[in-house]
Amino acid sequence: MCLIDLNMPGMDGDEIASRLRVQAHGESLVLVAVTAMSGDAARRRIRDGGFDMHFVKPVDPNQLVMLVDTLWRAWLKDYRQSKAHPA
């Protein structure tokens, strides 16, 4: 999981997301945009940028913990299944 601020100097979050997707070579990667913007244009930018979800600043720590917990549980379930039934 990568939390990426959309408005950074030098290289914006959209460019970073695009590069990470290329470098992942199809591997599972969860990209989360972090931005102060919350309107329709921001949602389109986030969707078009290839992000899986977004948080509006300031990020609620409880939402972040719930996301990490959900992703961890999903990964652990897949991992255990792969160990029970190796390819």
0.85 exceeded by pTM: no
Structural domain range at position 43: 2-84
Return the bridge partners of 31, or none: 2
pLDDT digit string (tens) for 32-83?
999 998 889 989 989 998 899 999 999 999 999 999 999 999 999 998 998 8
Handedness of CA 74, 79, 84, 87 (dihedral sign): positive
Query: Phi then psi for 12, rounded to 5 degrees?
Result: -80, 170
What would the 3-class secondary structure string for the chain be?
Answer: CEEEECCCCCCCHHHHHHHHHHHHCCCCCCEEEEECCCCHHHHHHHHHCCCCEEEECCCCHHHHHHHHHHHHHHHHHHHHHHHHCCC
| Domains of the chain: total | 1
pLDDT, tens only, 3-39: 999 888 888 898 999 999 999 988 889 999 999 988 8
Q: What's 57's domain CATH number?
A: 3.40.50.2300
